Chain A
Amino acid sequence: MGYTLNTAQANQVLAALRKDYTVYAPKRFRNQGRYSATDVIRYDEVERWEDIVWDVKSDYPAKEVLTPIQQAIFYFTEDEYRESKGPKKPILVLARPCDINAQHVQAKIYAGNGGYTDLYYERMRELVKFAMMECNGGDDTCFCVSMGTNKTDDYSLALKFSEDGVQVQVTDDAFAPYFEGQPEADYTPAFVEENELKVTLPDLEDKEVRKALKNHPMWKEYDARCISCGSCTVACSTCTCFTTRDIIYGDNPEVGERRRVTSSCQIAGFDQMAGQREFRSTAGDRMRYKVLHKFHDYKARFEDSHMCVGCGRCTHRCPELISISATLNKVSAAVDEIKAGQAKQ
Chain B
Amino acid sequence: MNHDINVKKTRLNCFRQSKVPGEFMLQMRVPGGMVDAKYLENVKHIAKTWGDGNFHFGTRQTFDIAGIKYENIPAVNEYLEQYIKEVSTELCDVDMNTVAHEPQPWDPKSGYPTIGARNITACIGNYHCICGNINTFELARKIEPLIFPSHYHIKINISGCPNDCNKAHMCDFGIIGVSKMTYHAERCIGCGACVRACEHGATRVLSLNEGIAKVDKDPCCCVGCGECVKACPTSAWTRSEKPLYRVILGGRTGRQTPRTGKMFLNWASEDVIIGVLKNWQKFSAWVMDYKPEYLHGGHLIDRAGYKKFKEIILEGVELNPECLVAEDMFWHETEYRSNINVKPIEQHHTAGPQA
Contacts and interface: CB of A to CB of B under 8 A. Distances in A.
Instruction: Check A-B contact in the complex, CB < 8 A.
Output: yes
A264 B213 contact: no
Contacts of A35: 126, 130, 132, 230
Contacts of B14: none
A259 B189 CA distance: 11
Given A36-B132, A230-B191, A248-B211, A264 B233 contact: yes
Interface string A280-320: 00000000000000000000000000000000000001010
Interface residues of B, number: 32
Interface in A51-88: 59-60, 68-70
B4 to A, nearest CB: 54
A59 B187 CA distance: 14
Interface stretch (A24-32, A107-115, A160-168, A186-194): A24-32
A30 B213 contact: no
Residue among B134, B211, B243 with the highest chain A CB neighbour number at 10 A = B211
B212 to A, nearest CB: 4
A69 B233 contact: no
Contact of B239 (A36, A42, A234, A259): A36
A70 B191 contact: no
A17 to B, nearest CB: 25
Nearest to B212: A247
Contacts of B132: 35-36
Residue among B130, B189, B190, B240 facing the most chain A CB atoms (10 A cut-off) = B189
Contact of A31 (B177, B233, B239): B239
Given A32-B235, A231-B233, A248-B212, A267 B186 contact: no
A139 B134 CA distance: 28
Given A35-B130, A70-B187, A261-B189, A30 B233 contact: no
B133 interface: yes
A156 interface: no
A1 interface: no
Contacts of A317: 233
Contacts of A29: 235, 238
Given A30-B241, A32-B238, A234-B189, A229 B213 contact: no
Nearest to B132: A36
Interface residues of A, number: 31
A34 interface: yes
A35 B234 CA distance: 13
A229 B212 contact: no
B229 A34 contact: yes
Nearest to B133: A36
Contacts of A261: 189-190, 213
A70 B186 contact: yes
A267 B191 contact: yes
Nearest to B126: A36
A37 interface: yes
Nearest to A262: B189
A89 interface: no
A40 B235 contact: yes
B188 interface: yes
B193 A229 contact: yes
Interface in A254-279: 259, 261-264, 267
A188 to B, nearest CB: 36
A69 B189 contact: yes
B160 to A, nearest CB: 8
B209 to A, nearest CB: 9
B135 interface: yes
B181 to A, nearest CB: 11
Nearest to B213: A245
Interface in A1-60: 29-37, 40, 42, 59-60
Contact of B241 (A31, A247, A263): A31
B102 to A, nearest CB: 37
B231 interface: yes
Interface in A217-247: 229-231, 234, 245, 247
B235 A60 contact: yes
Interface in B115-165: 126, 130, 132-135
Interface in B200-214: 211-214
Contact of B235 (A34, A264, A319): A34
B179 interface: yes
Contacts of A264: 189, 191, 233
Given A36-B239, A229-B193, A319 B213 contact: no
A267 B231 CA distance: 12
A36 B233 contact: no
A28 to B, nearest CB: 12
Nearest to B190: A261
Nearest to B128: A35
Interface of B: 126, 130, 132-135, 177, 179, 186-191, 193, 211-214, 226, 229-235, 238-241, 243
14 contacts: A29-B235, A31-B239, A31-B241, A34-B232, A34-B235, A35-B126, A36-B226, A37-B135, A40-B235, A69-B189, A69-B234, A230-B193, A247-B214, A259-B213
Interface of A: 29-37, 40, 42, 59-60, 68-70, 229-231, 234, 245, 247-248, 259, 261-264, 267, 317, 319
Given A59-B235, A262-B189, 8 more contacts: A31-B240, A35-B230, A37-B126, A37-B135, A229-B193, A229-B233, A247-B211, A262-B234
- Give 7 closest A-B pairs by Cβ, nearest first: A32-B238, A231-B233, A247-B212, A36-B126, A230-B233, A245-B213, A36-B133
